Amino acid sequence: MVTAALCSQFMPVRQLVMPFRPLAFLLLCFSLSAQSRVTAIRAARMFAGTGTTVTQPGLVIIADGKIQSVGGPVPEGATVIDLGDATLLPGFIDAHTHLSMAFDRDYSGARLAALSRTVPESAIRATENAKRTLMAGFTTVRDVGSSDFIDVGLRNSINAGVVPGPRMLVSVHALGSTGGHCDDSAGFRPNLFGRETGPKDGVINSPEQARYAVRYNIKYGADVIKTCATGGVLSPTDDVDTPQLTQAELDAIVSEAHALRRKTAAHAHGAEGAKRAIRAGIDSIEHGTFLDDEALQMMHDRGTYLVPTLATRTGLAESKFPPLVQKKADLAVKSQDAMVKRALAKGVKIALGTDAAVYPHGNNAVEFALMTADGMSPAQSLLAGTAVASDLLGLSSQIGTLTAGKQADIVAVPGNPLDNIKLTGSVVFVMKGGVVYRNERSSSSQQ
Ligand SMILES: [Zn+2]
């Protein structure tokens, strides 16, 4: 399987550097992948994501990129990967990333750097963020806000096997109002960019513009529609909790997206903006920092997901901000934990999402421990980052659990993560779609 992975991954490169020998290499790939079509992954235990327990031993049989069976027997001729004292889990899912954006401790410097950098440079840097995320065990992400279509290009390049990275659902531009959290020109002088931002940049100011922007995003590759229903922490000119879209605008965004079979996510810190998004039928509330009990009850009753993004505090703590942004960051971090505890008490569905780029890419697993610190059991937090998140993404028939017929997205951590959830940060094995991207434990053998 490892060889098959290398063949599919690096064949184009080999063809480039050895232009006269592609056929020989093709034949080598064919014979090796035919030999090792079935792979068995063994470990001391597994957390399949179908319940809240760990079972012993862990054994998953993989054929043609999919899970053929969970448990024995190991078919004759299968390649066996034995990971020893480790726990197999479904590939982790992060429902809130920004792989095309860089983490930078210097807020003001980063805003200037983003203006100086060419789009190709940003895209090349994004490939490194994608690789780090995959190697951390996150085999799927929902990427909720990008610029210049870098997210679309990255997703397509990953799907084509050009660069390693997680499966991506992308949103193109997040949709918000003039001067709001999603207006990238906020904080710069008028006319600096030669024109005012509009629907093609994700900036809308009427239900009609909202529908146009949804259609425009989908036309150019959006899998999911993201909107900014309230102010944000890192935007330089707004308050963090004010509503930024009207009920009619949010209704238009969600109904148009749903009509075109796309799920929706709303960035919302304040309760009023969140309630408008929930009423509109939004699929998830991102951050949710200042949600009141009424908003949480509405989410519970309608099955709206909460994506708390607690990991943001790790990046905010080490960053340098102007006074307004620092004040908003302090206020938000102070309110997050109490809100998550109230959401848990109400039984609101919670999916793992981290806001990667607000903290360094690849540290996504810290969210598991932060959710556990807020009162989730270790199993609940693992489910939030696997089965529950796959449901929010609309991909539960394909990923999220170790179940026969699903994509072979499998990770392993040392020891037992139910005893120590922080072990999710020490991934030793990553397989996506049957291809091994990381294996620090074993050489494989033939059964
Ligand atoms: Zn975000």
Centre of ligand 1 from the C-alpha of residue 234, in Å: 10
25: burial class by Cβ within 10 Å (0-12, 13-18, 19+)? middle
Q: Extract the tokens encoding 326.
A: 């620092």
pLDDT band per the 50, 70, 90 thresholds, residue 37:
confident
**Average pLDDT over every residue of 140-166:** 97
CATH of the domain at 49: 2.30.40.10
- Which residues share a beta bridge with 46? 55, 88
- The per-residue pLDDT for range 186-207, each reduced to its tens digit, is 999 999 999 999 999 999 999 9
pLDDT at residue 443 in the model: 66
User: The whole model's pTM is what?
Assistant: 0.91
pLDDT at residue 46 in the model: 98
pLDDT at residue 22 in the model: 40
151 falls within a domain: yes
Centre of ligand 1 from the C-alpha of residue 212, in Å: 22
pLDDT at residue 24 in the model: 40
- Strand, coil or helix: what is 316? helix
137 falls within a domain: yes
DSSP symbols for 8-53:
HHHHHHHHHH-TT-HHHHHHHHHHHHHHT-EEEEEESEE--SSSS-
Q: Are residues 204 and 352 in the same domain?
A: yes
Q: Are residues 167 and 52 in the same domain?
A: no
Q: Extract the tokens encoding 286.
A: 């991102």
**Average pLDDT over every residue of 287-292:** 98
pLDDT band per the 50, 70, 90 thresholds, residue 150:
very high
**Average pLDDT over every residue of 320-326:** 92
pLDDT at residue 441 in the model: 87
Q: How far is residue 73's CA from residue 70's CA, in Å, rounded to a whole number?
A: 9
- Whether 376 shows a pLDDT value over 80: the answer reads yes
Centre of ligand 1 from the C-alpha of residue 157, in Å: 22
Centre of ligand 1 from the C-alpha of residue 233, in Å: 10
Of 101, 229, 230, 113, nearest to 154 by C-alpha is 101
- The per-residue pLDDT for range 389-413, each reduced to its tens digit, is 999 999 999 999 999 999 999 999 9
Q: Are residues 71 and 98 in the same domain?
A: no
pLDDT at residue 445 in the model: 79
Of 136, 143, 167, 166, nearest to 366 by C-alpha is 136
Q: Are residues 97 and 171 in the same domain?
A: yes
Q: What is the pLDDT of the chain when averaged over all its residues?
A: 91
Q: Are residues 74 and 117 in the same domain?
A: no
pLDDT at residue 169 in the model: 98
Q: Are residues 229 and 138 in the same domain?
A: yes
Q: Are residues 108 and 71 in the same domain?
A: no
State how far Cα 128 lies from the chain centre: 15
| CA 154 to each of CA 146, 161, 268, 380: distance values in angstroms, whole numbers, following the listed order | 11, 11, 26, 31
pLDDT at residue 444 in the model: 74
| CA 400 to each of CA 9, 43, 135, 220, 408: distance values in angstroms, whole numbers, following the listed order | 24, 19, 17, 27, 10
Centre of ligand 1 from the C-alpha of residue 358, in Å: 8
- Whether 11 shows a pLDDT value over 90: the answer reads no
Q: Are residues 355 and 440 in the same domain?
A: no
Percent of the chain with pLDDT over 90: 86
225 falls within a domain: yes
321 falls within a domain: yes
Q: Are residues 44 and 155 in the same domain?
A: no
130 falls within a domain: yes
CATH of the domain at 139: 3.20.20.140
Percent of the chain with pLDDT over 70: 92
Contact 73/431 with Cβ under 8 angstroms? no
Centre of ligand 1 from the C-alpha of residue 160, in Å: 26
**Average pLDDT over every residue of 280-299:** 98
421 falls within a domain: no
Question: Any idea what DSSP says for residue 355?
Answer: -
Q: Within 13 Å, how many C-alpha atoms sit on residue 176's CB side?
A: 30
Number of domains the chain contains: 2
Q: Are residues 184 and 55 in the same domain?
A: no
- Whether 33 shows a pLDDT value over 60: the answer reads no
Which phi and psi angles does 42 have, rounded to 5°? -115, 145
Centre of ligand 1 from the C-alpha of residue 21, in Å: 46
Q: Are residues 148 and 50 in the same domain?
A: no
278 falls within a domain: yes
Estimate the crossing angle of helix 22-35 against helix 2-17, to 10 degrees.
180
Q: Are residues 280 and 328 in the same domain?
A: yes
Q: Extract the tokens encoding 148.
A: 């210049």
Give me the domain span that covers residue 67.
Answer: 37-83+427-446
Among the three residues 348, 371, 392, which one is the final residue of a domain in this structure? 392
Q: Which residues contact 259 (CB under 8 A, 6 or more apart)?
A: none
Centre of ligand 1 from the C-alpha of residue 267, in Å: 7
| CA 278 to each of CA 10, 148, 231, 237, 304: distance values in angstroms, whole numbers, following the listed order | 45, 29, 16, 25, 7
Centre of ligand 1 from the C-alpha of residue 319, in Å: 16
Centre of ligand 1 from the C-alpha of residue 19, in Å: 44
Centre of ligand 1 from the C-alpha of residue 2, in Å: 34
pLDDT at residue 161 in the model: 97
Which phi and psi angles does 96 have, rounded to 5°? -150, 95
**Average pLDDT over every residue of 4-19:** 35
Centre of ligand 1 from the C-alpha of residue 357, in Å: 8
* Beta-carbon neighbours within 5 Å of ion ligand 1: 355
Is 26 or 345 the better-scoring residue by pLDDT?
A: 345
- Whether 12 shows a pLDDT value over 70: the answer reads no
- Whether 17 shows a pLDDT value over 50: the answer reads no
